[in-house]
Amino acid sequence: MAQDVAQKAPIETEQQQAVVIIVNESTIHIKNAEKQVLEIYNLTGVKVSTIKIDSADKTIELSNLPKGCYILKVGKTARKCYLK
């Protein structure tokens, strides 16, 4: 008698966690954004900085930027921040 053995491959499910951008005065903390790029725009739409994110949790100092309002964008996630 032949025995039919079905091999089951593990089902891989990849859950992508949402990118989180936390702003604290002149510092931002970004979570779940490994291997992505942070783009910083001023309110006129001019890109003022691009920063490669090399780890899942990254803290970035923005004190080198002039005071004002900026748009932070990582992938499809965007957030407005005001630097004092």
Closest CA to 72 of 36, 35, 23: 23
How many domains does the structure of the chain reveal?
A: 1
Residue 10 within any structural domain of the chain: no
Q: Which domain holds residue 50?
A: 20-83
CATH number of the domain within which 75 lies: 2.60.40.3080
User: Does the predicted model carry a pTM greater than 0.85?
Assistant: no
- Interval 18-66: pLDDT, tens: 999 999 988 999 999 999 999 999 999 999 999 999 999 999 999 999 9
Assess if residue 8 is contained within a domain.
no
Mean pLDDT throughout 55-83? 94
pLDDT, residue 25, reads 84
- Asked if 28 and 53 count as a contact pair (C-beta separation under 8 A), the reply is no
CA 40, CA 81: separation in Å to the nearest integer? 10
On whether residue 65 sits in a domain, the answer given is: yes
